[in-house]
Chains A and B, each alone.
Chain A
Amino acid sequence: MGKFVLRRILQLIPVLLGVTFLVFCIISLTPGDPATSILGATATPEAIKQLNHELGYDRPLPVRYLDYIGGLLRGDFGTSYRSREPVLKEIISRFPTTLKLSVAAIILSVIIGVPLGVLSAVRQYSILDFTGMITAMFMASVPQFWLGLMCILIFSVKLGWLPFIGNSTWRHFIMPVFTLALPVAAKNLRLTRTTMLETIREDYVRTARAKGVREGVVIGKHALRNALMPIVTNVGINFGALLGGMVVIESVFGMGGVGTLTITAIRMKDVPQVTASILFLAFIYCLLMLIVDIVYAYIDPRVKARYVKD
Chain B
Amino acid sequence: MDEAILEIRDLHVLYKTDLAVNYAVNGIDLSLRKGECLGLVGETGAGKTTTALSLLRLLPPQSGKITQGSIRFQDAEIMELTEADMRLLRGNRISMIFQDPMTSLNPVLKVGEQIGEALRLHTKGSKENLEQRVEEMLEMVGIPAARKNEYPHQFSGGMKQRVVIAIALSCNPELLIADEPTTALDVTIQAQILDMMYELKEKLGTSMILITHDLAVVAENCDLVAIMYAGEIIERGTAEDLFTACRHHPYTEGLFNSVPDINDRAERLKPIDGLMPDPADLPAGCPFHPRCPKRLPQCDRKKPEAVSFGSHQIKCHLFRQEEDSYAAID
Contact surface of A with B, Cβ cutoff 8 Å: 124, 201-204, 206-215, 222, 225-226, 299-302, 305
Q: Does residue B319 face the partner (Cβ distance < 8 Å to A)?
A: no
Interchain CB contact under 8 A, B118 and A212: yes
Give complex CA distance A203, B167 in Å.
Answer: 14
CA of A36 to CA of B88 in the docked complex: distance in angstroms? 80
B95 contacts A210, C-beta separation under 8 Å? yes
- B318 interface hit (Cβ, 8 Å): no
Segment of B99-107, B215-223, B278-286 in the binding face? B99-107
Inside 8 A of A207's CB, which chain B residues have their CB?
98, 104-106, 164, 167
Name 23 A/B residue pairs within 8 A (Cβ), A-sorted: A203-B100, A204-B103, A204-B105, A206-B58, A206-B98, A207-B98, A207-B164, A207-B167, A209-B90, A210-B58, A210-B90, A211-B91, A211-B121, A212-B88, A212-B90, A212-B121, A213-B87, A213-B121, A214-B87, A300-B107, A302-B153, A305-B153, A305-B154
How long is the Cα–Cα vector from A207 to B100 in the complex, in angstroms? Answer: 11
Nearest CB of A to B49, in Å? 11
A211 contacts B151, C-beta separation under 8 Å: no
Contacts of B96 in A (CB 8 A): 210
Report B-chain residues with C-beta under 8 Å of the C-beta of A300: 107-108
The 8 Å CB contact of A203, one of B62, B98, B121, B153, is B98
Q: Is B247 an interface residue (CB 8 A)?
A: no
In angstroms, Cα B110 to Cα A300, docked, is 11
Q: Which residues of B contact A (CB under 8 A)?
A: 56, 58, 60, 62, 83, 87-92, 95-96, 98, 100, 103-109, 117-118, 121-122, 151, 153-154, 164, 167
Give the complex CA separation of A75 and B45 in angstroms: 70
**Which of B91, B98, B104, B105 is the one whose CB lies under 8 Å from A212?**
B91
Given known contacts A210-B56, A211-B167, A203 and B91 CB-to-CB distance under 8 angstroms: no
Q: Min CB distance, B318 to chain A, in Å?
A: 40
* Chain A positions within 8 Å of B151 at CB level: 301-302
Q: Give the secondary structure class of A's interface.
A: helix
Q: What is the minimal beta-carbon distance from B17 to any residue of chain A, in angstroms?
A: 13
Q: How far is the CA of A302 from the CA of B92 in the complex (A)?
A: 30
Contact B104 A203, beta carbon cutoff 8 Å: yes
Whether the pair A301, B117 counts as a contact (CB closer than 8 A) is no
Asked if B117 and A213 make an inter-chain contact with CB atoms under 8 angstroms apart, the answer reads yes
CA of A215 to CA of B82 in the docked complex: distance in angstroms? 14
Most buried by B among A208, A212, A225, A299: A212
Q: CB-CB < 8 A to A203: which residues of B?
A: 98, 100, 103-104
Whether B60 lies near A201 (C-beta < 8 A) is yes
**Which residue from B91, B100, B122, B154 sits with its C-beta under 8 Å from A210?**
B91
In the complex the two chains form, what is the Cα distance from A218 to B58 in whole Å? Answer: 13
From B56, B60, B107, B122, contact of A226 by CB (8 A) = B107
Instruction: Return chain B residues, CB-CB under 8 Å to A209.
Output: 58, 90
Known: A212-B92, A301-B151, A302-B153. A204 touches B104 (CB 8 A): yes
Residue ID in chain B nearest A207 by CB atoms: B104
Cβ of A226 and Cβ of B108 under 8 Å apart? yes
Q: Given A201-B60, A206-B58, A301-B151, are A211 and B108 neighbors across the interface (CB < 8 Å)?
A: no
A225 touches which of B89, B90, B103, B108 (Cβ 8 Å): B108
Which residues of B have CB within 8 Å of A299?
Answer: 108
Partner of A222, one of B92, B106, B153, B154: B106
Beta-carbon nearest neighbor of B100 in chain A:
A203
CA distance A202 to B60 in the complex (A): 11
Q: Which chain A residues lie closer than 8 Å to B122 at the CB level?
A: 212
- Kindly list chain A residues whose C-beta atoms are within 8 Å of the C-beta of B83: 215
CA distance A302 to B109 in the complex (A): 11
Q: Verify B106–A226 contact, CB threshold 8 A.
A: yes
Min CB distance B210 to A, Å, is: 17
Q: Which residue of chain A is the closest to B113 with respect to CB atoms?
A: A221
User: In the complex, what residue of chain A is closest to B102 when comparing beta carbons?
Assistant: A203
**Pairwise interchain contact B117-A208, C-beta atoms closer than 8 A:** yes
A222: chain B residues at CB < 8 Å are 106, 109
Question: 12 other contacts beyond A207-B164, A210-B90, A300-B108, with CB at 8 A cut-off?
Answer: A203-B103, A203-B104, A206-B98, A207-B104, A212-B87, A212-B92, A222-B109, A226-B108, A300-B107, A301-B108, A301-B153, A305-B154
- Shortest 10 CB-CB distances between A and B: which pairs? A211-B91, A212-B90, A203-B103, A212-B91, A211-B118, A301-B151, A204-B106, A212-B87, A203-B104, A207-B104
Contact A124 B104 (CB under 8 A): no
**Which of A206, A300, A305 counts the most chain B CB atoms within 10 A?**
A206
Chain A, residue nearest B122 (CB): A212
Complex: how many Å from CA A225 to CA B107?
10
Instruction: Return the chain B residue nearest A304 by Cβ.
Output: B151
Q: Tell me the nearest residue of chain B to A226, going by C-beta.
A: B108
> Are A211's CB and B117's CB within 8 A?
yes
Cα distance A300–B98 in the bound complex, in angstroms = 23
Give CA–CA (A212, B118) in the complex, Å: 7
